[in-house]
Structure 1
Amino acid sequence: MADYIVGDIQGCLSGLKALLSKVDFNAHTDTLYAVGDLIGRGPEALDTLAYLYSLGDNFKTVLGNHDLNLLAIHCGARRAKKADKLDGVIASLDFAKYCAWLRQKPLAMLVGSDILLTHAGLYPAWSFDKALALSAEISDVLQSQQWQLIVNSMYGDNPNSWNDELVGDDRQRFIINAFTRMRFLEKDARLEFNCKTKPCDAPKSLLPWFSMQNPNLTSTQKVVFGHWAALNGETNSEQFIALDTGFVWGGCMTLLCVNTMKRLQN
């Protein structure tokens, strides 16, 4: 029995299967975790969802921005973009089934006791417990009959700073943005969404979220995330582990073995 975490799949099932074959992944005894963005821009979106769905309890994932985009398309809040290559999913008789399945997935989860899994990372003002509680707030709505309301209101860049007193749409939007869109922060910890480069190419006023001090973390806690292909897996930290290495853009797909904390790429 082994646990693995894979970086952004983005509808690239062939790449995923090639990577899993390298570790002799057993769909009955091993568990595959994903950092989100299961689909989006890759050519095998429908087949990817079908395969991951077929793994049952041996597959677990957090939601990424592309996964939320699919939910928005499903309820009419967004139109599908040609570049996202979702036509096969949308035309499928299983479209509603896969969206219902995705709505059961959280924005953050623990892998073991010391690894927090999210799509974009951990906002520096939040502890693991805080992140899991905020994720649960969103899950409660996504799993309710009123889930379309949160999907309709989640788009926008504001508010861009956290306050425990935030309520309603503003609170939900910030939580979703922090978990699924975050890369850089202003020095006062405001979210900045326009810059997507490597940290060394960013304006000096911006800092990668993982370079800002988080007093809530212990030395043994690790955050595993995806979303930021330009990092190419580099954070210069053993505590913050980036797994999006841009397979859909011609890079590698990365798999982390939780048991050994070693990475494998194809």
Structure 2
Amino acid sequence: MATYAIGDIHGAHEPLTRLLERIAFEPRRDSLWFVGDLVNRGPDSLATLRFVRSLGDSAITVLGNHDLSLLSLCQQPDAEDRLHPSLQPILHAPDREPLLEWLRHRPLFHHEARLGWSMVHAGLLPAWDAARAGELAREVEAALREPDYKAFLANLFGNEPDAWQDDLRGYDRLRVIVNAMTRMRFCREDGRMDLGYKKTIAEAPAGLMPWFQLPQRASAGQRVVFGHWSALGQVAWPEYDVWGIDTGCAWGKKLTALRLDTPAPEIIQVDCGRESTTR
């Protein structure tokens, strides 16, 4: 049995199909971990949602920022005007409600002790190890699954607070958790998130560093696979025990699978126009 993590698909259903052919994925035998952002920008978000949902227990999907945005916008009376054109087919699909209900019940964070891996869409704040991240993610998951989840979605978005404190309460607490796990790339040395700068590490403004390079990070030494950051520049950062597998499929670059059950993680990629492989 093989376990593969798959990078941000963003509605690129056809490259996903080729990638699964390349790794000879067998649903009754293998497992797939999706790092989030199943939808938006690509040509077929609806087919991507339908396919990943159809995998059932063979797939684990964590929520990304674009997935949460879809859930939120579909609740708005002017959703037709606000949704990206690539998402319009979902809004009008006959199975829209089952698809959105399924998406709303996805986790925010996943850890599997047997493999020694954790998965999150964006990152973990320096005070959180895998166990703490799992606890905090469950708070958000509970809010998303409540009957009044629409109130949570209406209060979800914003950049403040920008740092974790254990005594945070209410929507402020949930917003920090969501922002770290679905939007964060850079932090300041004191652990405050910077949600504005989105580009390369080399060009980052003074005082910013990738979340995984922060000193005294509680999750150091715990292997984490994540997506979200197509400008990161490389997949493997073994010196920090992290692998960033958003390799820009949304921008016509590559879609990446990372095999997690082998002694050394194996990288398999397809071009989002033609196939290529890196091992």
Query: Does the CA-based 8 Å contact 1:183-1:192 persist in structure 2?
Result: yes
Query: Does the CA-based 8 Å contact 1:74-1:96 persist in structure 2?
Result: no
Q: CA RMSD in A?
A: 1.6
What is the TM-score normalised by the length of structure 2?
A: 0.91
| SS of the residue 2:254 aligns to | coil
Query: Does the CA-based 8 Å contact 2:237-2:243 persist in structure 1?
Result: no
- In the alignment, the residues of structure 1 paired with residue 85 and residue 215 of structure 2 have an alpha-carbon distance, to the nearest angstrom, of 35
Q: What's the CA shift for 1:84?
A: 5.5
**Unpaired runs of at least 5, structure 2:** 271-279
Tell me the residue number matched to 1:135: 137
Deviation readout 1:100-157 (Å, 9 max, x if unpaired) = 1011111101134421100001111101111000000011111111111111101100
- In the alignment, the residues of structure 2 paired with residue 236 and residue 127 of structure 1 have an alpha-carbon distance, to the nearest angstrom, of 18
Within the candidate set 199, 206, 209, 2:208 is matched to: 206
| SS of the residue 2:231 aligns to | helix
Query: Does the CA-based 8 Å contact 1:232-1:244 persist in structure 2?
Result: no
Tell me the residue number matched to 2:117: 115
Using a 3 Å threshold, how does the CA distance of structure 1 residues 198 and 234 change in structure 2: closer, same or farther? Answer: farther
Code of the aligned partner of 2:144: L
- In the alignment, the residues of structure 2 paired with residue 245 and residue 263 of structure 1 have an alpha-carbon distance, to the nearest angstrom, of 11
Q: What's the CA shift for 1:204?
A: 1.6
Tell me the residue number matched to 2:268: 264
Code of the aligned partner of 1:146: D
**Unpaired runs of at least 5, structure 1:** none
What is the TM-score normalised by the length of structure 1?
A: 0.95
Q: Does 1:3 align with 2:7?
A: no
Give the % identical residues. Answer: 38
Deviates more, 1:68-77 or 1:44-53: 68-77
Query: Does the CA-based 8 Å contact 2:117-2:260 persist in structure 1?
Result: no
Q: What's the CA shift for 1:160?
A: 0.3
Tell me the residue number matched to 1:61: 61
Deviates more, 1:79-88 or 1:97-106: 79-88
Q: What's the CA shift for 1:82?
A: 5.6
Tell me the residue number matched to 2:252: 250
Within the candidate set 159, 162, 165, 2:164 is matched to: 162
Query: Does the CA-based 8 Å contact 1:186-1:206 persist in structure 2?
Result: yes
- In the alignment, the residues of structure 1 paired with residue 137 and residue 257 of structure 2 have an alpha-carbon distance, to the nearest angstrom, of 24
Query: Does the CA-based 8 Å contact 1:37-1:66 persist in structure 2?
Result: yes
- Alignment: residue pair count: 265
Query: Does the CA-based 8 Å contact 1:12-1:42 persist in structure 2?
Result: yes
Code of the aligned partner of 1:265: Q
Q: What's the CA shift for 1:29?
A: 1.6
Using a 3 Å threshold, how does the CA distance of structure 1 residues 77 and 38 change in structure 2: closer, same or farther? Answer: farther
Write out aligned runs for 1:34-73 (5 A).
34-73=34-73
